[in-house]
Amino acid sequence: MKFFTIQLLFVLANAYLSMAIIYRGTLCGWAEVSTTEPILCNGSDPRHSCPANYTRQLFRDGGAYCYKSNTTTEASYGLKGTICGGLARDPCGGESPAERCPTGYTQDFRHMCYKNDPKIEDLSGTYCGVISDGVGTTCDGLPVGQCPRAYRGINYEPERWHACIKE
């Protein structure tokens, strides 16, 4: 009996540890002004609204995305529509979004992957804190150019574009 109890604890610990903190600024959903195929954030078109605990970010050209309003206090998974890879030609879970996306993610015609299974871990390549032309939010409220542990920054100075990407 003791052996099974230990195994059960091991399984539960591994399941919990595979979850991660979702940082304020994690991207969900994506839409340009004229698109007829927006990436929805848990069913919401970011041009019009975002789900609870997410805030809408509008681009100057009218495009939009949703981002997590607060950093989670417990380990969890991102919503359906969480953006992974593609914005800066970065991979999602080691896959090139121009070619395919990992299991649990959908390939978008914009060469991005987005989560379609909210019960799986957010993979490497998940975006947090996108700033374009000086507009947007940072990842976890950190200063521009800084990222939380296990994330790395990407910068494109001519466009004043910055984001953090999960490693």
With helix as H, strand as E and coil as C, how does 52-84 read? Answer: CCEEEEECCCCCEEEEECCCCCCCECCCCCEEE
Given a contact cutoff of 8 angstroms between Cβ atoms, the answer to whether 165 and 151 are in contact is: yes
Name the percent of the chain lying above pLDDT 90: 71
Q: Is the pLDDT of residue 139 over 80?
A: yes
Residue 11 has pLDDT above 60, yes or no: no
Residue 19 has what pLDDT? 67
Over residues 84-92, mean pLDDT: 90
94-112: pLDDT as tens digits: 999 999 999 999 999 999 9
- For 21-150, strand residue ranges (E) read 27-31, 54-58, 64-68, 83-84, 105-107, 113-115, 127-132, 135-136
Residues with Cβ < 8 Å from 30, sequence gap 6 or more?
38, 39, 46, 63, 64, 65, 83, 108, 110, 112, 114
What pLDDT sits at residue 79?
97
The pLDDT value recorded for residue 160 is 77
pLDDT at 89: 84
Q: Poorest-confidence range of 36-40, 121-125, 142-146?
A: 142-146
What CA–CA distance (Å, rounded) separates 38 from 112?
A: 12
Number of structural domains (the chain) is 1
Taking residues 151-163, report their average pLDDT.
84
Which pLDDT value is given to residue 15? 37
For residue 135, the enclosing domain spans 2-166
Out of 7-11, 43-47, 49-53, 61-65, least confident range: 7-11
